Amino acid sequence: MDAIMNAYKQEDFGTARRLLSVAVEQDPQNDTLQYFNGVLEDREEGCASSEPWFTQVPATSVFAPKARYNLALCALKSGDLSRARELLGRIAELKDAQVSAKARDLLLRLESM
């Protein structure tokens, strides 16, 4: 994982993508790899490519709140406000201090629109 993160941080996305592909082949159920694949896809290709990866992250994963938050952002980008609100509402109820607070803030902003 260190090599993948180093490549990503250096914006060597080709190397990061190759390393992630090999890692996912070896461990396709790894939630960390699923989440970071979504992050990389979102960065390079956008929501259409990242959503399948974020959707695969299990609800029990430490990355689930972040993955769902990214799915909510994708829903907003596509204009699906009801789906975004639904996802943000679920995230806001979680105990994840960082992401839950961001979800609550974004929900408040959406309600004032």
Question: Is the pLDDT reported for residue 113 higher than 80?
Answer: no
* Domain ranges (residues) in the chain: 1-56, 58-113
CATH number of 1-56, picked from 1.20.120, 1.25.40, 1.10.287, 1.10.3470:
1.25.40
Distance, CA of 53 to CA of 34 (rounded, Å)? 5
For 43, the token pair is 């960065």
Per-residue pLDDT tens over the stretch 5-39? 999 999 999 999 999 999 999 999 999 999 999 99
pTM of the model: 0.90
> Taking the CB of residue 82, how many other CB atoms lie within 10 A of it?
8
CA distance 44 to 32: 18
Residue 16 has which token pair? Answer: 């990061």
The pLDDT confidence band at residue 1, using thresholds 50, 70 and 90, is: confident
Alpha-carbon distance of 92 to 105, in angstroms, equals: 9
* Tens of pLDDT, residues 40-98: 999 999 999 999 999 999 999 999 999 999 999 999 999 999 999 999 999 999 888 88
